[in-house]
């Protein structure tokens, strides 16, 4: 499993943050529990699902 670079992780977080309240579709072959290993900064990862779940339907 390849870890995201710090820039890639920050870009994904920024994308999700900017789309808050608007449509966003994310697909993955990995279980959400496996996402933790992809992020070099655990703080970024911890806040990402929170932003996704709070506005999801």
| Predicted structure pTM score | 0.71
**How does pLDDT run along the chain (57 residues), one tens digit per residue?**
688 898 998 898 899 888 877 888 888 888 877 888 888 888 888 888 778 777 776
Helix axes 6-18, 42-54, angle to 10 degrees: 20
Could you please report the per-residue DSSP string of 26-54? Answer: ---SS-HHHHGGG-S-HHHHHHHHHHHHH
Spatial contact of 28 and 35, defined as CB atoms under 8 Å apart: yes
pLDDT of residue 1: 63
Residues with Cβ within 8 Å of 42's Cβ and at least 6 positions away in sequence, in order, are 36
- Could you tell me if 12 and 48 are in contact, meaning their C-beta atoms sit under 8 angstroms apart? yes
């Amino acid at each position: 499993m390849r870890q995201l670079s710090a820039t890639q992780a920050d870009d994904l977080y920024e994308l999700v943050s900017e789309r808050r309240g608007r449509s966003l579709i994310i697909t993955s072959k990995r279980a959400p529990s496996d996402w933790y290993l992809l992020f070099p900064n655990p703080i970024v990862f911890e806040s990402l699902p929170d932003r996704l779940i709070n506005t999801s339907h």
